[in-house]
Structure 1
Amino acid sequence: MKIIDFRSDTITKPTEEMRKAMYLAEVGDDVYEEDPTVKKLEEIGANLVGKEDALFVPSGTMGNQLALLAHTERGQEIILEEKSHIFMFEVGGLAFISGLQSKTIKGHKGIMCASDIERAIRVNNIHFPQTGLICLENTHNMAGGVITPIELMRKVYEIGLNYKIPIHLDGARVFNAAVGLGVDVKEITKYSDSVMFCLSKGLCAPVGSLLAGDKKFIEKARKYRKMLGGGMRQAGIIAAAGIVALENMIDRLEEDHYNNRLLAEKLININGIQIDMDTVQTNILMIDIVNKNYNADTVISLLKENGIYVSKISDYKIRFVTHMYISKEDILYTAKIMKDILE
């Protein structure tokens, strides 16, 4: 039976071009900053997002946590959306690693209001923690791949400048946002002081993310990377795949977006499914099961029997993520099976 895996775009495997590049990669010791392939990847990544420098890290979570460490001091507070990845899915690292307190804001479909962010900034008071960082997420995972509008990012960046508070962008899927908006990614990332973006999701690289910012910030993050065990040696073997990802895999994200919308348009016509079509913007689809005879667990189990893997978000919510290894034919087959199950 063929497996159609919608659980995440992290399940993508490296392309043949990536595998060849990894085999042929020139390597050195990256802790000594002597791996030429890593250095090339970091240069390409920094230039793509319009930053002075970049740092290759094993994962997006590490990249985000390094940004928190490099931007803040222990005992400070950071502002972030209540369902953001940094708050929900990084094992409490902001508190455990950086000693930070969270000030969460309820967003509308994952998007915080600029005025709410400004109101959340702490005034100078001996009883309060100091606001040390504002974090944004683009696209927003738990909102269903929603794109944070550029105008909102501009407003938040200006707030940061006014209060002298840095802005970090969790841009795990920022290239999906750029493709979705039809803009150069720099039009998004210019409104942040630092940005983390993943190579191992829709871009298909097997390992790694990049953290980008100014040189002083990256120098600090590099030292913290070593402290957290992220200093890799002949990392050019995996960095080579990241170069292919950035050079050849960004534009094709549009195909994932097309397939995601096609899936949404097919599923919304099935009795027992509700979809907020306003959130269908990139490659993530959230559906609500409203047939009283089913919940997420039962639907997921029945889909799995038919070779379709999806993720449970809550008792009645399921997530689909499209990627390079999901075809139009897979979308049509999945819609048929969902219809058979629920109707």
Structure 2
Amino acid sequence: MSNAIQAGLRLTLTVAMLSLPAAPVPAEETARQLNCAVVNGAPISREECNGELERLKRSRSVRLFSPALLKEIQQEALDNLIRRELIYQESRKGGIGVAATAVDEELARLKTRFANEMEFSSALSSLHVSEASLRNIVERGIAVRTYIDRQFAGQSTVTDEEKKGYYRSHPDTFKRPLQVRISHILVRTGGMTGKARAEAEKKIEGIREKVGKGESFDALARAYSECGSKEQGGDLGFFRRGEMARVVEDAVMDLKVGETSGIVEDRFGLHLIRLTDRKPEQVIAYEAAEGKISEYLKQEKAMEKANRYAGDLRKKARVEINPAEM
């Protein structure tokens, strides 16, 4: 699903910090200068352009970008955002509203990728994105998806030949890699030295001894862990290779289900990690994947139609581009 609009809908948290002009200018002029484009009167901010540019750069396999390639990607980023804005405006004209509960649910799903609320807030802060801004991004994304589903998805059909062809030509997509489910108990040590560090080490060692004596890992996590996952008995869910910190992966991959690691240290602190489940690598049969393949290909066709529609909209739209902000 790599087309422009679908890519633009992904929640991209990577945005650049706003660098304000050196000399004071009127507020209205400042706002205008901070936009890389205006579409039918609606601004596309430099933050949005930089975020989309960063997403596109990360999707490329190259590390160093020539001036020509960078210019090409900048143009692609801007085109993506203009198309997305045009579709969003059409969704508003079509009376599509987004319930606050739908936004809440989407944000809640996003937050599950973080160990706790503190880490989520820290990630937003490091990227200079407020939760209010993120909420707006989510709301607009839901509106655009809803519009595309209503206007184009129903017009798209997928044949058996197309589904089977996709399955045959994407074998790696239908390999389910080894997954492990882990729980942990965390004692934070961030920046600690001396007596505070010694206390943290004593605490995790005491918990390790309790685990060794057969006490419930779930109960110990709820009682002692300093991670938000303590509410779930320390459960962090399933992970594939490469999705965990290297020290954590090294500690758990050779464990048997039900075994607990020794004390593991990473940037968050000191951990005890238990392997609670293991799903071996397997190939997903066509019959099991058929429904998802059909839905995926329908979405691809819908996005292609939406892209063409957005192209037609742009021909009639008032689009002002600010080259200084590209």
What TM-score results when the alignment is normalised by the length of structure 2? Answer: 0.24
| Structure with more helix by fraction | 2
